[in-house]
Amino acid sequence: MQIDWQSYDPGAFHDEVIKRPGAPRSIAADLAGYLESLDRQALDEKKLAARLAIKTMGISFTVYSDGQNIDREWPFDLIPRIIGAREWETTRRGLEQRVRALNCFIHDVYNGQKVFRDRIIDPALILDSANFRPQCVGIQPRHKVWAHICGTDLIRDENGRFLVLEDNLRVPSGVSYMLENRRVTKRVFPELFENHRILPVTEYTQELFDMLASLSPRKQAYPEIAVLTPGIYNSAYFEHSYLAQRMGAELVEGSDLVVEDDQVYMRTIGGLSRVDVIYRRIDDLFLDPAVFNPESVLGVPGLFQAWLKGNVSLANAPGAGVADDKIVYTYVPDFIKYYLDEDPILPNVPSYRCCNDSERSHVLANLDKLVVKPANESGGYGMLMGPQASAAEREEFARRIKANPRNYLAQPLISLSTVPILGEHSAEPRHVDLRPFILQGADSYVTPGGLTRVALVKGSYVVNSSQGGGSKDTWVVMGEGDAVPGS
Amino acid sequence: MLSRVAERIYWQARYLERAENTARLLNVFSNLLLDLPDRTTLGWNDLVRITGASEIFVQHYQNANETNLARFLISDPCNVSISAMLANARENARTTREVMPTEAFEGINELHYYAQSAAGKADDRSARNEMLEHVIESCQQIFGMLAGAMSRDAGYAFVRMGRALERADMVSRMVDVGARKLFAMLEDPAAPPEFAETWQGILWMSVLRSQSAYQMYRQHVRRRVNGEDVVCFLLHNEEFPRAVIHNLTTVSKVLPRLPNHGEVAELVNLARVELKHSHVPELVEHGLPERIDHLQIRFAAIHDAISRTWFLPRV
């Protein structure tokens, strides 16, 4: 295998590296030239080196339906994705703006509900939502922030413009893979790093630690921070352990914690030890069997009450998921205007709300052209890809939409941008999305770039690792004379 | 440190050490059998006995021969094979990654994959030796990384305790089998007396080799290898890092780093004092196997106390 950009054809899609066969974009010209200069043997060696690195470093993820084999190697493509620093600076500001507005909205929903009185959004859409937690009404979390860690999915359309696809405010995952992808790329392509000014991503764990520490109810130099994991069988266990390790925080399971007198403690070799901040990686409903799902063995009885009393901080706060809903998503541009009095920097994908009669009629009449998404699923499950679906599948979705219009949203199929991956015999274009991570505590922080997920199957739009997706290192690259973004 | 994490670190160290010891044992045993004048006196059955897994073995295999033993101890899915122990070590490491030096985890992970892929090497003697040596080297390397990068806090204390107890236990088993064999031979009227001395020498030398103790022994004991000296060296030598007493001392040295260590310290001390005051020449004459049984009961009690003190969830 040797790469020849002349025979690389992105077709009608926006390819981020190659404009048209043989013509790399200026920002990726060095990368394209370098890759073309590698002969077959060199490319094979690089591929092998990357696989070995992933195996040795133990970068893995878990697949639910996999039965025995719970731990799989992380699928990774060698060719980095490149984003210009100037474009990124705008995107970064757009993401910060979005998360600020989302936090204002969540705080408002649980404190005052001005947004309903001003008729910005129909209260029924929120109060009937599966993610609205009546138990959280009246709570004032520190800094009035509910969603401390947000993973917002971005896509590029056929013109290369970034659009927001969704906001993940519950327990977004993937950041450890972003960090590990960079480590692997450094091992495999050290020579590339000499010729590019690539913004580092490694400070994420430090930023995360500082943000979590800023939530501590006790004012002390070393607040006790714990990462709460459902355990080794969770698909993101690698990440939980990774983040705890990089932050020097304790990685705890529900059974490691105990609540006494509304204080949270860990069981340690020296007895019980107080916990200040919990970065919880389990869903609201499993947090506390005394308040939510009584069947939950993952959670800690009394945890919610301890949080209510302000004796422990939870990130993200219970109830933050009320804004992680594909219908609420369609209102985010309105929230930005309403709460911040600013124009949205990053546009949404145009969306049809099935709860609205005229929009629903349009959706039902155009199911073969639209993507239909349930409001509350994640991981790409339960979607209808209209153009590729069978007539029977479309009928099934029409039935579901009519039965529960509130639960569905439809969007035109956006022609996702492509980037090259190293295929068996040549470089081939594949569709990608991007998940940057946004932190908000006392201050905010956005990862430079984020996790690029790539659909490894030709023509596919499904980028989820649980469904055959892979990932790429993502470089935010400074050109001549660019200032460091955010500084 | 979380109780759960402490427990996993402790077991990870035990499994790693056990995998290393099993590799040593198998390696030395293969060589020993080639040297023995009369192969019927010492058989593969004895190896099964040392590992303490006779019951599991007879459930899965009909004959205690070289191939079956090698497969059983290298790749059998049951809990006593090297690959199963390394899988356990890795599983424990995977759940304690956040407190372990990254390179040590990577080492364990790599070794686990190696052992999984090396299952086919059980049947061929030279491939097997190479595999076993790689396992021994890697375990040493991993413990080296832990020693070189872990703070001397509670976490490292559990690594050291796990390793020391596992070692003490395995060395005592080796001594036990050596001693039992010796008696069997001395009492066997069919055994030609002229071979007895040579045979003894070879047997005890192998016991020493399995513990990498031969060189140190020679420096320490300057006469012909004999049972009494070897037993004395492996049980009583404070300086030799694989000797039983040295490992008990190691445990008592790390205990002050841990809270509530009173009960464990008492039990360790009891075992040390008993061991110190046992008179080896007398024991070798008679009563050594009983003495070793007693020692192993002590080890089990120490383990139980460790578990009770630090691992069990307490509210």
Q: What is the pLDDT of residue B315?
A: 43
A108 found inside a domain:
yes
Asked, for residue A364, whether it belongs to a domain, the answer is: yes
**Cα A196 from Cα A269, distance rounded (Å):** 48
- Residue B255 DSSP symbol: G
For residue A67, count other CB atoms closer than 10 A to its CB: 7
Q: Is the pLDDT of residue A487 over 60?
A: no
Residue A69 in contact with partner chain B when CB distance is under 8 A: no
In sequence order, the β-bridge partners of residue A149 are A439
More confident site: A283 or B204: A283
Burial class from Cβ neighbours inside 10 Å (0-12, 13-18, 19+) for residue A397 reads buried
Q: For tokens 């630690």, what's the residue?
A: A209
Here the CATH number for the domain that contains residue A251 is: 3.40.50.11290
Q: Where does the pLDDT of residue A135 fall: very low under 50, low under 70, confident under 90, or very high at 90 and above?
A: very high
Average pLDDT, chain B: 86
Q: Which residues pair with A265 in a beta bridge?
A: A258, A274
Q: Where are the alpha helices (DSSP H) in chain B?
A: 3-35, 44-51, 54-60, 66-74, 82-94, 102-117, 125-149, 154-187, 193-210, 214-220, 227-236, 244-254, 262-276, 280-285, 288-306
* Co-location of A332 and A363 in the same domain: no
Instruction: Pick the residue from chain B with its C-alpha nearest to A258.
Output: B315
Of A245, A256, A271, the CB nearest to B4: A256
Query: Which residues from chain A sit within 8 angstroms of residue B259, using beta carbons?
Result: 269-271
In a domain, A176, yes or no: no
For residue A136, name the pLDDT band (cuts at 50, 70, 90): very high
pLDDT over 60 (residue A85): yes
What residue ranges do the domains of chain B occupy?
1-150, 153-315
The CA-CA-CA angle for residues B244, B250, B252, to 5°, reads 110
Q: Do A245 and B99 touch (CB under 8 A)?
A: yes
pLDDT, mean over chain A: 90
Residues A136 and A241 in one domain: yes
The reply to whether A174 falls in a domain is: no
Residue A244 and residue A138 share a domain: yes
User: Average of pLDDT values for A437-454?
Assistant: 95
Reported as a single tens digit per residue, the pLDDT across B117-168 is: 888 888 888 889 899 999 999 999 999 999 999 999 999 999 999 999 999 9
Enclosing domain of residue A265:
87-150+200-340
Tokens representing residue A455 in the block: 């659909």
Quick one: A69 and A94 in the same domain? no
In a shared domain, residues A222 and A294: yes
Which chain A residue lies closest to B259 (C-alpha atoms)? A270
On whether both A375 and A441 belong to a single domain, the answer is no
Residues in A closer than 8 angstroms to B100, CB to CB, are 245
CB contact under 8 A, B105 and A250: no
| Residues A81, A111 share a domain | no
Q: How does DSSP classify residue A386?
A: G
Residue A158 lies in a domain: no
Q: Do B314 and A249 touch (CB under 8 A)?
A: no
Examine the domain organization and report whether A134 and A226 are in the same domain. yes
- With CB atoms and an 8 Å threshold, state whether A250 touches B2: yes
Domain co-membership, A140 together with A261: yes
pLDDT average, residue stretch A210-231: 92
Q: Assess contact for A10 and A417: CB atoms under 8 A.
A: no
Instruction: Answer whether residue A155 is part of any domain.
Output: no
Beta pairing partners, A37: none
- Are A327 and A231 in a shared domain? yes
Look up the CATH number of the domain holding residue A399.
3.30.1490.270
- If one counts the domains in chain A, the total is 3
CB atoms under 10 Å from CB of B228, counted, come to 15
Write out the two tokens for B7.
């427990």
Domain membership flag for residue A429: yes
Q: Rounded CA gap, A367 and A362, in Å?
A: 9
Q: Do B2 and A266 touch (CB under 8 A)?
A: yes
Q: Which domain-ending residue is among A368, A391, A412?
A: A412
How many Cβ contacts (< 8 angstroms) between chains A and B? 72
Predicted local distance difference test score (pLDDT) of residue A339: 98
Res A143: pLDDT: 94
Q: How far are the Cα atoms of A129, A328, B2, B231, B259 from residue A124, in angstroms, in the given order?
A: 8, 12, 44, 81, 55
Task: Please give, rounded to a whole number of angstroms, the shortest distance from the CA of A102 to a CA of chain B.
Answer: 32
**Domain endpoint, select from A340, A368, A394:** A340
State the pLDDT at residue A66.
45
Q: How far apart are the first and last CA of chain A?
A: 42
pLDDT given at position A210? 95
Q: Check whether residue A383 and residue A465 sit in a common domain.
A: no
Give the mean pLDDT of A349-364: 92
Q: A358 in a domain, yes or no?
A: yes
CB B291 within 8 A of CB B235: no
In a mutational test of the B interface, the residue from A224, A269, A273 whose CB has the highest number of chain B CBs within 10 Å is: A269
CB contact under 8 A, A271 and B259: yes
Low-confidence ranges of chain B (pLDDT < 70): 36-42, 182-196, 313-315
* Complete DSSP assignment for A228-259: E---TTSTTHHHHHHHHHHHT-EEE-GGGEEE
Give the per-residue pLDDT at A70. Answer: 59
